[in-house]
Chain A
Amino acid sequence: MKMQSKLGQARHLGSTNNGVHHWWMQRLTAIALVPLSLWFVFSLIGLADADHDAYKDWLGDHGNMVFLCLFIFAMFYHAVLGLQVVIEDYVANEGKKIFFLILMKLTAALLGFTCLTAVFRVAFGG
């Protein structure tokens, strides 16, 4: 039995598997953040009393730079997905909901790209 309306069948409408994209990306970033966030907090112990040169040396290690960039990307992506659901659940007014979704996503994009480019500037000696 097809779980699809007659009209849907006539129009050749069907699943494009995009409906689960939000769910899938939330899980994917969550799995990535398990090792990445643990790596980051334990790196913080070493960086706690670092001066600029020590931080630059740490970022000069290519592995550290890759992990830091991955951590930033996964963390902002995961935060956006989570905050999106919170806004969708608690903001009832449709106009306000869209306003806050746009505000949240653009703020996250601004902060996320600011972080990534800041890492590159230090790593590549700007």
Chain B
Amino acid sequence: MTTGKRPLSPHLQVYKMPMSGIMSISHRITGIIMSLGLAFFTYWIVAAAYGPEAFATAQAVMSSWFGMIIVFGWTACLFYHLVNGLRHLRWDTVNGLEKEDLVASGRVTIALAVILTVAFWIFAAL
């Protein structure tokens, strides 16, 4: 296809994404991150099948600073993807699709995801 010197629009480097756009791509990114996290999940659950020593090693890996970053990141992604997923399910019922509703539910989603993540880790630390 010959496009000549026509401008590319909207160009990703100069295009300011609206909140809905940022939240949409974040839904994908958090989904991809959690999918990659399945490799760690598999390691942990398979270690248990290999016996007490392998499981103890896996538990040590998961409670190390490196493991904790992964588990924290995974739960943060989960809570965002979960709440935004519920937002998607509501859209499937053809509700809340007006622009003002999108912004309002978007703000609620971000707030809930942060609150749930923080509350979960406070609860876990108790």
A→B interface (CB under 8 Å): 27, 30-31, 33-34, 37-38, 41, 44-45, 48-53, 55-56, 72, 75-76, 79, 82-83, 86, 108, 111, 114-115, 117-119, 121-122, 126
Contact = CB atoms under 8 A, between A and B. Distances in A.
Nearest to A121: B49
Give chain B's interface secondary structure class: helix
A44 B40 CA distance: 14
B45 A119 contact: yes
Give chain A's interface secondary structure class: helix
Interface residues of B, number: 32
Contacts of B41: 115
A52 B86 CA distance: 36
A52 B51 contact: yes
Contacts of B88: 30
Contact of B32 (A27, A52, A83, A121): A83
